[in-house]
Structure 1
Amino acid sequence: MTVPAMNDQDPDRTPGASGELMVIPSVGFARRAGKLWLDTKFVEGMRLNARLWGGPISAAMRPAEEGAIPFGAAFEPGSLPFRLIELPEQGPIETTHLRGAAVILAGGDMHDQLHLPALLNGEGRPAICYIVEHDQANRYRMIWTNGAPLVRRIKTLAWTWLTERRRLRAFARADGVQANGAPAFASYSRRQSNMLLFFDSRTREDMLARPEEMAARSARLRAGEPLRLVFTGRLERIKGAQDLPAVAQALMTLGVDFTLDVFGAGSLEEEIKEAIERLGLGGRVILHGIVDFETSLTPYLRARADMFVCCHPQSDPSCTYLETYGCGVPIIGYDNAAFEGLRRASGAGWSTPMNRPDMAAREIARLDREREEIIAHAERALAFAREHTFEKTFERRIAQLRKLAKGRRAEPVAPTP
């Protein structure tokens, strides 16, 4: 089934791209009362793709349950800037699903898309570019810490090892790879020379911290007001949320005057509430639940946060990092590979040893005494985010794809820090 794109005469769309860009995302779609239920971030990205590409675009997607698309919304099919190609719910992607594409942007983390270079190996085949987020080390780490029975984890690790062999072959035969975050870029650039490094973010240029907000934060810090710490994200072990009470307790022991605002929800919410009460953190650690990213969370961080406490044990390229920097808020975080890559590239933020909330608290206590350092890192964080906004990131990614569409292999591309 194909849903046609709207008749879009967007004046921002520049002509000249060759043929159709087909995206095969990891997210699926559902139907609701004649409308399509789609991930809102995906649709927003496709709208920008449509403006920048300069030609037709499509999305080949598998049907899914609405509950599997938690950040979704209902869209009229005719309002979408792309045609939707329905893939089978199960079974392989075939050449019939890919007709008309000049460039295919496929999911490198998805095992059911790794056969595409072998499938499309004839004369005149479309260019294939993969997008990848995780390196192999992080895949193993996520499996080993997921809490499944030991035998199941060992079997999954073996399957993942075999799948990685397929991934390496696919990347070597592809025309390009776009790596979200430093770990994936470092891992796969040995197999593919046409690599592009980017940092995922939903922050548009008009959402960046304003000069007056940066000045107000600096003034508060210099006035010696209590540190305003923040955490945003899922309250899950893979996000390190269980360590937040321990950080707060250690800060109280060290005599730091602070508040810690926590935004998000998850399976650890009750455990964290119990820890707040048991450790006497009431009034210090405040749980806010889930709030809207653009209208509530971003303005709050810009106006009412000094540092982000990030206890992520995984090396996944969380968009939280760059979105926080866009608010002019530097991060103190565990030294996972993804954050370390961003920290080195930006010169902003501080890392502490993994799974050591006491060490994170000690560094925060030091920074409480060295507040000019916080102010300097806030400026660096914002400067880096300004060069990697939602718009600029998509422009870089589309530029690589347009070179492929024109039959020219793009030069290896990585954004300048």
Structure 2
Amino acid sequence: MTPLTVEAVEDLNLDVVTALHSPKMDFVRHLRTPVVLTSEQTMSIRHGINRSHLRGISLMRASLGLIRMEKRLRGLLRHALSAQFNGPASMKSYGGLVNEPLVFQDHRVLSRDISAARSVSPWDGSRPLRLGFSGRLISIKGPEFAVELANRAAEAGLPVELYVFGAGALENRLRAEAGDNVYFEGFKNFRTEWLPAVQEGIDVMVMPHVQGDPSCTYFESLGSGAPILGFDNETLTPLVEEHDIGWTVKKRDVDALLTELRRIIGDPEVLADTRERGLNLVADNSFEVTTQRRMDHIQKAVFSA
């Protein structure tokens, strides 16, 4: 494979280069070819990721490294023709550094997937509420809080089941802590297994992320008919505040999660309305629509230069 160097890229005689907004892509600032960057994580999100698994001197060193990295990342944006921002957090932090920025939400939900989700009736209270957790079973995703919520709900006599999709370093611990109302589904192929499982079997997706990375699972859950219950962070909170597609509480506060869960169980009509708003949001920003917007943005940036 040809190394990514200025010379190798220029030899391709391209009209535009797209690159991830990352220190590893620093060489693109030296290209003559126009560059459109894709940005996802902010300094705050990176710090949140570090805080989830580092402590003491290790966290301090990582934080100093982020400060040094931030200067390089901002410089990279200033050299770009434009940029596309995955999620509201990166747009808020960096959008002012480029011309004609585009904000989008990365996901894989097609228009036909949303139609399939709409064919499933919303929860009406006649059976246990089926919660889902989907993602790597690692600290930054907060799966332990989802399991604790399910355990607490069972102790309180609430009709709740939790289905855990994914695998990771915390799996053995989570299995040991989980009650009888928690089911571990393992890793699922997104299109052939995950989508139908969530569309047909999950009423609310629990996403207690302790940091704000723009996970695909936010929109993929909403587009499957599962509103989101999670922690306040740089990605979920703006979605909930602007579109009312779920519920957020303070980070690491399982008591608050349980309080919201009680409210959800107590009013199936509110849950159904929230579900519909989530489906509408993703329908307006389906994979096809989002891809076309991104392509149109790149073309406009290049031809306007």
Q: TM-score, normalised by structure 2?
A: 0.94
1:262-301 correspondence to structure 2 within 5 Å:
262-276=164-178, 281-282=179-180, 284-301=181-198
Rate the CA distance shift 1:268–1:209 in 2: closer, same or farther, 3 A.
farther
- Structure 1: gaps (5+ residues): 2-85, 410-417
Query: Structure with the greater relative contact order (CA < 8 A, sep ≥ 6): 1 or 2?
Result: 2
Rate the CA distance shift 1:259–1:209 in 2: closer, same or farther, 3 A.
farther
Q: Is residue 2:267 matched to residue 1:370?
A: yes
Equivalents in 1 of 2:26, 2:188: separation in Å? Answer: 37
Q: Secondary structure at the match of 1:126?
A: coil
State the shift of 1:211 in Å: 6.5
Q: Is residue 2:212 matched to residue 1:319?
A: no
Aligned match of 2:59: 153
Equivalents in 2 of 1:392, 1:244: separation in Å? Answer: 32
Aligned match of 2:8: 96
Q: Is residue 2:237 matched to residue 1:337?
A: no
Q: Secondary structure at the match of 2:176?
A: helix
Equivalents in 2 of 1:246, 1:211: separation in Å? Answer: 28
Residue identity matched to 2:237: E
1:83-232 correspondence to structure 2 within 5 Å:
86-87=2-3, 93-99=5-11, 100-108=13-21, 110-117=22-29, 119-120=30-31, 125-147=32-54, 150-210=56-116, 213-214=119-120, 216-217=121-122, 221-232=123-134
Equivalents in 1 of 2:295, 2:118: separation in Å? Answer: 33
Over 3 Å off, 4+ runs: 149-153
Aligned match of 1:396: 293
Q: Secondary structure at the match of 2:15?
A: strand
Equivalents in 1 of 2:115, 2:203: separation in Å? Answer: 13
State the shift of 1:321 in Å: 0.3
Contact 2:52 2:210 in 1 (8 A): no
Equivalents in 2 of 1:289, 1:146: separation in Å? Answer: 23
- Which has more radius of gyration? 1
Aligned match of 1:412: none
CA offset digits 1:34-68 (Å, max 9, x no partner): xxxxxxxxxxxxxxxxxxxxxxxxxxxxxxxxxxx
More helix per residue: 2
State the shift of 1:372 in Å: 0.4
Aligned match of 1:51: none
Q: Which of the numbers 137, 156, 176 marks the counterpart of 1:235?
A: 137
- Structure 2: gaps (5+ residues): none
Q: Secondary structure at the match of 1:341?
A: helix
Rate the CA distance shift 1:127–1:95 in 2: closer, same or farther, 3 A.
same
Q: Secondary structure at the match of 1:114?
A: helix
Contact 1:181 1:341 in 2 (8 A): no
Q: Is residue 2:147 matched to residue 1:245?
A: yes
State the shift of 1:209 in Å: 4.2
Contact 1:231 1:263 in 2 (8 A): yes
Q: TM-score, normalised by structure 1?
A: 0.70
Aligned identity (percent) is 26
State the shift of 1:346 in Å: 2.7
CA offset digits 1:207-264 (Å, max 9, x no partner): 22437634x22xxx33532111111111111100111221012212332111111111
